[in-house]
Amino acid sequence: MVNIAVLAKISLNLNLLKIESNGKINTAESPLAISEYDKNALEEALRIREKFGGKVICISVLTWGPVNKKLQDAERIMRETLALGVDEAHLVVDDYFDSCSPLETSLAIASVLRKLGNFDLYLCGESSMDVSSAQIPARIASILDIPFITYVAKIRIEENKIFFHRELPNGVQIIEAQPPLVVSVTGEINQPRLPTFKQILQSKNKPLIKYTLKDLQIETKAGKLNQWMEVRPVIRKNIIYEGSKLEEIAQDLINNLIQEGVLKI
Amino acid sequence: MTSNIIVFSEDSKIINDALHVAYSLSEKTGNLIALTNSDENAEEYFRNFDEVYVTKKDLMPDQWASLLRKVFLEKNANYVIAPHTVNNNDILSFLSAKEGMHMVSNALSFQEKGDYYVFSRQVIGGRGISYIEISKNEKIALTVPLKVYPKINLNKSPLVKEITEIPNSKINFAGFEERKRSGVNIENADIVIGVGRGFKNKEDLKLAQELADAINGVVGCSRPIAADYGWLPNDLWIGISSKIIKPKLYIAVGISGAPQHVSGIMDSKVIVAINKDKNASIFKYADYGVVADLYQFLPILTKKIKEMKK
User: What is the Cα–Cα distance from A216 to A228, expressed in whole angstroms?
Assistant: 26
Span B111-128, average pLDDT? 92
* Higher local confidence (pLDDT), A232 or B69: B69
Task: Tell me chain A's radius of gyration from C-alpha atoms.
Answer: 22
Last residue of a domain, one of B110, B142, B162: B162
Domain membership flag for residue B134: yes
Mean pLDDT per 10-residue section of chain A, whose length is 265 residues: 97 92 94 97 98 97 97 97 98 97 98 97 96 97 98 92 91 95 95 94 96 93 91 88 96 96 92
CB contact under 8 A, B227 and A14: no
Domain membership flag for residue B196: yes
Residue A74 pLDDT = 98
Torsion, CA B50, CA B55, CA B60, CA B66, rounded to 10: -50
H-helix segments, chain B: 19-25, 42-46, 61-74, 86-98, 206-214, 223, 259-262, 294-309
B252 backbone dihedrals φ, ψ, rounded to 5°: -90, 120
Supply the range of the domain harboring residue B211: 191-309
Shared-domain flag, residues B204 and B139: no
Residue B40 has pLDDT above 80, yes or no: yes
Residue B182 pLDDT = 79
CB contact under 8 A, B285 and A236: yes
Structural domains of chain B, count: 2
User: What is the Cα–Cα distance from B152 to A100, expressed in whole angstroms?
Assistant: 34
CB contact under 8 A, A220 and B228: no
Residue A205 to chain B, least CA–CA distance (Å): 34
Domain membership flag for residue B94: yes
pLDDT digit string, tens, across residues B138-160: 999 999 999 889 999 999 999 99
Residue B243 pLDDT = 87
Beta strands in chain A (DSSP E): 4-7, 10-12, 32-34, 56-61, 88-92, 121-125, 148-158, 161-168, 171-177, 181-185, 208-211, 226-231, 239-241
Residue B155 to chain A, least CA–CA distance (Å): 32
Last residue of a domain, one of B121, B142, B162: B162
Residue B2 has pLDDT above 60, yes or no: no
User: What is the Cα–Cα distance from B291 to A66, expressed in whole angstroms?
Assistant: 40
Residue B244 pLDDT = 87
This prediction's pTM: 0.87
CB contact under 8 A, B100 and A222: yes
In sequence order, which residues have a C-beta less than 8 Å from that of residue A13 and are 6 or more positions away?
Answer: A30, A31, A32, A33
User: What is the Cα–Cα distance from A117 to A57, expressed in whole angstroms?
Assistant: 12
Residue B1 has pLDDT above 60, yes or no: no
Mean pLDDT across chain B, nearest whole number? 93
Residues in chain A closer than 8 A to B89 (CB atoms): 134-135, 138
Domain membership flag for residue B232: yes
Span B129-136, average pLDDT? 95
* Higher local confidence (pLDDT), B95 or A188: B95
Question: Of how many residues is chain A composed?
Answer: 265
Residues in chain B closer than 8 A to A257 (CB atoms): 249, 270, 272, 288
Residue B199: C-alpha distances to residues A161, B108, B203, B275 (Å) = 37, 34, 9, 10
CB contact under 8 A, A236 and B284: yes
B125, B281, B292: residue with CB nearest A129: B125
Shared-domain flag, residues B140 and B228: no
Shared-domain flag, residues B195 and B156: no
Shared-domain flag, residues B218 and B297: yes
Domain membership flag for residue B81: yes
| Predicted-complex ipTM score | 0.92
Amino acid at B209: Q
Shared-domain flag, residues B10 and B114: yes
A140, A167, A181: residue with CB nearest B227: A167
Shared-domain flag, residues B100 and B158: yes
User: Among residues of chain B, what percentage have pLDDT more than 90?
Assistant: 81
Chain B interface mutation, best of A220, A253, A254, highest count of B Cβ atoms under 10 Å: A253
| Residues B300 and A247 sit within 8 Å (Cβ to Cβ) | yes
**What residue ranges do the domains of chain A occupy?**
4-215
A169, A229, A239: residue with CB nearest B130: A229
What kind of architecture, by CATH, is found in domain A4-215?
3-Layer(aba) Sandwich (3.40)
Domain membership flag for residue B84: yes
* CATH number, residue B303: 3.40.50.1220
CB contact under 8 A, B291 and A241: yes
Q: Identify the H or E element spanning B120.
A: strand B116-123
Query: Which residues is B178 bridged to in the sheet?
Result: A171
* CATH number, residue B120: 3.40.50.620
Domain membership flag for residue B42: yes
Confidence of residue B54 (pLDDT cuts 50, 70, 90): very high
CB contact under 8 A, B176 and A17: no
Shared-domain flag, residues B124 and B214: no
Chain B interface mutation, best of A22, A126, A232, highest count of B Cβ atoms under 10 Å: A232
Residue B88 to chain A, least CA–CA distance (Å): 11
Shared-domain flag, residues B11 and B75: yes
Shared-domain flag, residues B227 and B130: no
CB contact under 8 A, A239 and B287: yes
